[in-house]
């Protein structure tokens, strides 16, 4: 916030479309992540960032530098995230952030393609006996300040003619703690976020997530407006993860496709030149991403999938060929 003000006041020209050059010159990528949401972005016991949002930062680092370690993680709360990006403190925001019309148009940001299709839900105590969000009339609901959640919950209660008693905090930790202590009857955020928070509880089985999904939350990485080259790189890195899964390539088998005759695979892996030059990266960038990190399905399962503590089914996040929304335009 302060930084934005100072920047807006003093700087004479802003980001003339050379984010990629700046990243290369600096030697690292500054990636905005959350303050700690298991499965999405969360520092482990050794202080290494883990999660699907973090893996996307790594994918970008691989696409640009050819290795996953050239990322500097900047931990941001809901309040700081947009200004951090606007002010140039970070190069990309990969932090479970919902794309909305207002955010896309009036905050000077551009959202790329969603990394995770989510929806907002409610979590309550099991012993409260509540089974549907429609029973929440008059309930105190804990939520985080400055999120789309805060608006959705208000809309939902209004639409269903229910009375809402919001309890709103700046920090997510305070929101969750207040819910656990019993200050609120329900906690609301994205369904994935609820699963993530519940996995941190001492007694996760005492809490249930209600079935109603009350909103659409396409969580997408965002970049600054006005630098189309960098926007394209971020967008197509995401597509590369999806395309790799669709082509059946993963980190373990990608080398065995080196001699594949399939022209789609040859183009994707950079053996037929084209995918690198047109985007300003190495011809083998997509190969590197798959080799060093994996495809979308792999990072999904590793971080938030059915065998992770979050236990989230693929659902909407399946490939389009499996009835989901994950779809990449052709690599050609």
Partner 1 sequence: MFNLLRDEKKRALLIQASGLFLVLAIFGYLFHNTQLNLEKQNIATGFGFFELEAGFDIGEALVEYWSDDTYLKALWVGVLNTLKVSILGNIFAVTLGVLIGLGHLSNNWLVKKLCRSYIEIVRNIPLLLQLFFWYALLTEALPAVKQAMEILPSVYLSNRGLNIPFPVNTANYGFSLFGFIVALIIFFFMERKRDLKQIETGVAKPLWEKLNYTIFLIPILIWALTGASTEFEIPKLVGFNFNGGYTLTPEFTALFVGLVIYTAAFNAEITRAGIQSISKGQWEAAHSLGLSQRDTVKIVILPQALRVMIPPLTSQVLNLTKNSSLAVAIGYPDFVSIANTTMNQTGQAVECVFMIMIVYLTFSLLTSIFMNWFNKKFALVER
Q: Which of residues 85-144 bind partner 1 (CB under 8 A)?
A: 86, 102-103, 105-108, 136-140
Integer Cα distance of 119 and 109 in angstroms = 22
By CB under 8 A, the count of residues binding partner 1 is: 55
Residue from 68, 38, 37, 70 nearest 55 by CA: 68
Q: Is 117 in contact with 123 (CB distance < 8 Å)? A: no
Backbone angles phi, psi at 121, to 5 degrees: -140, 180
Phi, psi of 309 (to 5 degrees): -60, -20
Closer by beta carbon to partner 1, 69 or else 105: 105
For 64, residues 6+ apart whose C-beta sits below 8 A from its C-beta are 20, 23, 24, 29, 70, 233, 281, 285
Matching residue, tokens 């699963």: 195
| Shortest distance, position 122 Cβ to partner 1, whole Å | 13
308 binds partner 1 (CB under 8 A): no
DSSP for 173-197 reads: HHHHHHHHHTS-SEEEEEHHHHHHH
* Binding region for partner 1 (CB under 8 A) out of 23-31, 51-59, 78-86, 215-223: 78-86
List the one residue from 11, 48, 69, 253 that touches partner 1 (CB under 8 A). 11
Q: Does 181 bind partner 1 (CB under 8 A)?
A: yes
Site stretch for partner 1 (CB under 8 A), options 5-13, 266-274, 277-285, 302-310: 5-13
According to DSSP, residue 70 is labeled -
272 burial type by CB count under 10 A (0-12 exposed, 13-18 middle, 19+ buried)? middle
Nearer to partner 1, 44 or 206 (CB): 206
CB of 204 to partner 1, least distance (A): 20
230-289 binders of partner 1 (CB under 8 A) = none
Closest to partner 1 by CB, 108 or 324: 108
Both structure tokens of 119: 């929806």
User: Is 22 one of the binding residues for partner 1 (CB under 8 A)?
Assistant: no
Contacts of 148 (CB under 8 A, 6+ apart): 98, 100, 120, 215, 217
Q: Is 47 in the site for partner 1 (CB under 8 A)?
A: no
Of the candidate residues 27, 129, 182, 330, the single one contacting partner 1 (CB under 8 A): 182
Pick from 24, 28, 89, 151 the residue near partner 1 by CB under 8 A.
Answer: 151
**What is the C-alpha to C-alpha distance for residues 53 and 252, in angstroms, rounded to an integer?**
21
x/- letters, 210..229, toward partner 1 (CB under 8 A): --------------xxx---
Nearer of residues 182 and 330 to partner 1, judged by Cβ: 182
Please state the closest distance from residue 81 (CB atom) to partner 1, in A: 9
Residues in the chain: 332
Nearer Cβ to partner 1 (150/301): 150
In this structure, are strands 120-125 and 140-144 parallel, antiparallel, or unpaired? Answer: unpaired
Encoded tokens for 222: 């965002």
Q: Closest Cα partner for 326 from 223, 229, 218? A: 218
Does 160 contact partner 1 by CB under 8 A?
no
Candidate ranges 59-67, 160-168, 283-291, 308-316; the one touching partner 1 (CB under 8 A): 160-168
Interface residues with partner 1 (CB under 8 A) are 1, 4-5, 7-15, 78-79, 82-83, 86, 102-103, 105-108, 136-140, 145-147, 150-151, 153-155, 157-158, 164-171, 174, 178, 181-183, 185, 224-226
């Amino acid at each position: 916030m302060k930084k934005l003000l100072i920047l807006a006041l003093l700087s004479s020209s802003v980001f003339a479309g050379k984010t990629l050059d700046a990243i290369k010159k600096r030697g690292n990528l500054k990636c905005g992540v959350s303050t700690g949401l298991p499965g999405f972005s969360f520092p482990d016991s050794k202080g290494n960032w883990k999660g699907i949002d973090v893996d996307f930062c790594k994918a970008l680092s691989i696409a640009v530098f050819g290795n996953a370690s050239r990322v500097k993680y900047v931990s941001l709360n809901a309040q700081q995230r947009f200004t951090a990006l606007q002010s140039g403190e970070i190069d990309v925001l990969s932090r479970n952030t919902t794309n909305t019309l207002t955010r896309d148009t009036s905050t000077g940001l551009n959202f790329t393609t969603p990394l995770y299709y989510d929806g907002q839900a409610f979590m309550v105590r099991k012993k409260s006996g509540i089974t549907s969000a429609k029973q929440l009339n008059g309930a105190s609901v804990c939520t985080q300040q400055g999120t789309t959640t805060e608006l959705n919950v208000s809309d939902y209660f209004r639409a269903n003619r229910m009375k809402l008693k919001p309890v709103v905090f700046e920090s997510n930790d305070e929101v969750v703690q207040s819910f656990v202590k019993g200050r609120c009857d329900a906690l609301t955020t994205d369904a994935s976020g609820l699963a993530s928070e519940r996995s941190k509880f001492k007694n996760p089985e005492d809490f249930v997530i209600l079935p109603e999904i009350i909103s659409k939350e396409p969580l997408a990485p965002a970049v600054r407006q006005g630098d189309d080259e960098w926007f394209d790189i971020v967008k197509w890195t995401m597509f590369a993860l999806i395309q790799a899964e669709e082509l059946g390539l993963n980190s373990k088998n990608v080398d065995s496709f080196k001699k594949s005759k399939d022209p789609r695979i040859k183009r994707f892996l950079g053996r037929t030149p084209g995918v690198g030059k047109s985007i300003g990266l190495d011809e083998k960038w997509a190969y590197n991403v798959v080799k060093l990190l994996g495809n979308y399905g792999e990072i999904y399962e590793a971080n938030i999938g059915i065998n992770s503590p979050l236990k989230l089914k693929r659902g909407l996040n399946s490939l389009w060929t499996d009835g989901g929304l994950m779809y990449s335009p052709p690599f050609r």
